[in-house]
């Protein structure tokens, strides 16, 4: 059985990380689309860096931990015999902290920085500013950006994601609003006989494309549904 999982902000909500489009989905009066674009970064790099610096600090605070949904995905992967791939739109590292191994962070990772010119990627846990220095070249300032996919940029790992989608026997989308493409289109790449399962607190625009929609909290439903697949 080939299993493909897609997660979104809803899986980390119960760990204390706010979602994008819920009631907490605004940041200091900005829509996320207004800070998460290359144009926004060119116009006002401090604002964009501050947005991600605050989110990085929050992610690193001790109360933020993987929850039962992250944990059950890692346990399922470990026990599973067939192919397994976990694709996440989340830029937090909670799947990795829970012990998931085959993870594609299609929208990038908050705990990494990227040199805008050389494309080198570095682990990064501090604030990023216009003064941030390349870790290996002491005199090189201000060329680092968050390793995040902004609107208008190509998500990471699309070839691998598409290859997994076309041979999936089970596809589960967890805690995603189904509004941001190409992630929202992955369900349509799965074969006609694939069992397509949606787990979300609410109905989403993508719900009609699934065979089963389970309404409720990820921490309750994800362990239950994964258990039923074993
Ligand atoms: P959204 O914030 O758009 O949607 C979160 C979804 O999770 C909603 O459908 C909620 O109903 C659901 N949800 C919230 N809490 C839940 C819980 N405890 N259990 C189950 N479901 C819950 O987040 P995404 O769909 O991940 O991209 O957003 C997609 C992309 O938009 C993000 O990756 C980000 C953003 O712009 C980039 O930054 C490139």
Structure confidence by residue, pLDDT tens digits, 154-196:
999 999 999 999 999 999 999 999 999 999 999 999 999 999 9
7 CA to centre of ligand 1 in angstroms? 8
Q: How far apart are alpha carbons 20 and 9 in whole angstroms? A: 7
Biggest CA–CA distance in the chain, Å, is 56
Q: How far apart are alpha carbons 228 and 223 in whole angstroms? A: 9
Task: Compute the residue count for the chain.
Answer: 230
What per-residue confidence (pLDDT) applies to 182? 97
Q: Name 115's bridge partners.
A: 144
CB distance 66 to 93 below 8 Å:
no
135 CA to centre of ligand 1 in angstroms? 33
Nearest Cα neighbor of 108 from 82, 165, 146 is: 146
Assign 184 to helix, strand or coil.
helix
Known active-site residue 30: no
What per-residue confidence (pLDDT) applies to 22? 67
What per-residue confidence (pLDDT) applies to 83? 97
30 CA to centre of ligand 1 in angstroms? 17
The protein residue whose alpha carbon is closest to atom 31 in ligand 1 is: 180
Catalytic residue among 30, 70, 95, 107: 107
Residues of the chain with pLDDT under 70: 22-30
Q: Is residue 117 within a helix (H) or strand (E), and if so which, with residue range?
A: none
Nearest Cα neighbor of 83 from 1, 186, 187 is: 1
Q: How far apart are alpha carbons 20 and 194 in whole angstroms? A: 29
21 lines ligand 1 (CB under 6 A): yes
Q: Which of 25, 180, 181, 223 to mutate to test the pocket of ligand 1 (most atoms within 8 A of CB)?
A: 180
22 CA to centre of ligand 1 in angstroms? 8
Count Cβ atoms within 10 A of the Cβ of residue 46 and give its class: 0-12 exposed, 13-18 middle, 19 or more buried. exposed
């Amino acid at each position: 059985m080939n299993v493909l999982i897609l997660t979104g902000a809803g899986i980390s909500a119960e760990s204390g990380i706010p979602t994008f489009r819920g009631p907490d989905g605004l940041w200091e009066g900005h829509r996320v689309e207004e800070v998460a674009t290359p144009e926004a970064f060119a116009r006002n790099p401090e604002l964009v860096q501050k947005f991600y610096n605050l989110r990085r600090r929050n992610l690193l605070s001790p109360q933020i931990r993987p929850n039962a949904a992250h944990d059950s995905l890692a346990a399922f992967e470990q026990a599973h015999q067939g192919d397994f791939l976990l694709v996440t739109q989340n830029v937090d590292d909670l799947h990795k902290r829970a012990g998931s191994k085959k993870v594609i962070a299609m929208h990038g990772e908050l705990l990494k920085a990227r040199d805008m010119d050389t494309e080198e990627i570095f682990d990064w846990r501090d604030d990023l500013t216009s003064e941030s220095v390349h870790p290996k070249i002491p005199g090189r300032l201000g060329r680092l950006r968050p390793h995040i996919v902004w609107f208008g940029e190509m998500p990471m790992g699309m070839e691998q994601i598409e290859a997994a989608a076309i041979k999936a026997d089970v596809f589960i989308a967890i805690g995603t609003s189904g509004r941001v493409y190409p992630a929202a289109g992955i369900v349509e790449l799965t074969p006609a006989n694939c069992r397509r399962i949606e787990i979300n607190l609410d109905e989403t625009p993508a719900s009609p494309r699934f065979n089963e929609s389970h309404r409720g909290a990820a921490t309750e439903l994800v362990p239950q549904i994964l258990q039923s697949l074993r």
